[in-house]
């Protein structure tokens, strides 16, 4: 098990952790009834923090940020000798946490995505983890919440008895959600990206060989070119360029960021 603290990649603080370390962190917080905001970041998510100082602040104030993408893991190994042998892929982390929650009797809550995705996901969950206690399932509103709606959502999750909340709003909305709800929900909040449609079977996953070699972005671009073109064509080269500057010492990246002045309340 690895969970060895945080390292700086382009100014974003990432946890040197493997699956086992991440799951233990989450389950321990769930059992103790305390907040733990968690995100699995690929290049796109990391770059949102590079390009937006308020988002950098949010990311750097989450409890646990693990490398979802192989290029992020490679950067941690290159810059800091992290020694990570695998990434902590959000959809797989979701599966491991669900399996552990079933074993430990920890109720879970799913928030985000569409009713059809959630229905497909519930059916899959019932097959994979028949004894998992699903305390609640709620689709995204696909807009910003009002402060009252935030309070009501937090209350629904608390009253449900959930000990872990999975958030599937897409990046960066789900990371913003984790940051803004971590002070009002005394449970782990996991921003898990495409885990919902993957579990539901509505979104195809890249073949294992593409995942191992850091080519998942290419597979996703081929399946959703219009939505993902700008993300990958512009952000990937920018990431590599900045990573080279940090690796050679030509540029340093501070981690401070700017504290957000208002809540965005994505829901």
Q: What tokens appear for 203 in the block?
A: 């979104």
pLDDT at 254: 97
Residue whose entry in the numeric block shows the structure tokens 């993300």: 231
Phi, psi (5° rounding) for residue 78? -65, -50
Task: Return the HEC string of 9-38.
Answer: ECCEEEEEECHHHHHHHHHHHHHHCCCEEE
Residue 34 predicted with pLDDT over 90 = yes
Cα distance between residue 38 and residue 244, in whole Å: 27
Burial class (CB in 10 A: 0-12, 13-18, 19+), 54: middle
pLDDT digits (tens, 9 = 90+) for 196-241: 999 988 877 778 887 788 778 777 777 777 777 777 778 899 999 9
pLDDT at 211: 77
pLDDT at 2: 80
pTM value > 0.85: yes
State the chain's mean pLDDT as an integer: 94
Enumerate residues 6+ apart whose C-beta is below 8 A from 244. none
Got the DSSP string for 189-251?
EEE-TTHHHHHHTSSPPPPHHHHHTT-HHHHHHHHSHHHHHHHHHHHHHHHHHHHHHHHHTS-
pLDDT band with cut points at 50, 70 and 90 for residue 5 = very high
Residue 21 predicted with pLDDT over 80 = yes
Domains of the chain are 3-200 (3.40.50)
pLDDT digits (tens, 9 = 90+) for 50-102: 999 999 999 999 999 999 999 999 999 999 999 999 999 999 999 999 999 99
pLDDT band with cut points at 50, 70 and 90 for residue 4 = confident
């Amino acid at each position: 098990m690895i969970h060895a603290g945080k390292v700086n990649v382009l100014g974003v603080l990432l946890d040197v952790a493997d699956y086992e370390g991440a799951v233990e962190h989450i389950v321990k917080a769930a059992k103790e009834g305390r907040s733990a905001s968690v995100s699995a970041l690929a290049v796109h998510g990391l770059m949102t923090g590079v390009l937006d100082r308020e988002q950098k602040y949010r990311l750097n104030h989450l409890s646990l940020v693990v490398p979802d993408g192989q290029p992020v893991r490679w950067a941690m190994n290159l810059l800091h000798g992290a020694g990570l042998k695998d990434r902590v892929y959000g959809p797989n982390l979701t599966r491991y946490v669900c399996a552990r929650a079933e074993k430990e009797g920890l109720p879970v809550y799913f928030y985000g995505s569409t009713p059809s995705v959630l229905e497909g996901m519930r059916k899959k969950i019932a097959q994979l983890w028949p004894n998992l206690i699903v305390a609640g399932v709620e689709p995204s509103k696909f807009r910003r919440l009002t402060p009252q709606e935030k309070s009501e959502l937090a209350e629904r999750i608390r009253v449900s008895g959930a000990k872990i909340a999975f958030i599937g709003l897409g990046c960066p909305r789900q990371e913003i959600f984790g940051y803004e709800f971590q002070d009002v929900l005394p449970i782990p909040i996991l921003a898990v990206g495409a885990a919902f449609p993957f579990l539901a079977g509505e979104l195809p996953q890249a073949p294992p060989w593409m995942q191992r070699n850091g080519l998942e972005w290419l597979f996703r671009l081929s399946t959703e070119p219009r939505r993902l073109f700008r993300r990958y064509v512009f952000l990937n080269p920018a990431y590599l360029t900045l990573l080279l500057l940090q690796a050679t010492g030509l540029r340093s990246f501070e981690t401070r960021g700017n504290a957000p002045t208002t809540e965005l309340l994505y829901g």
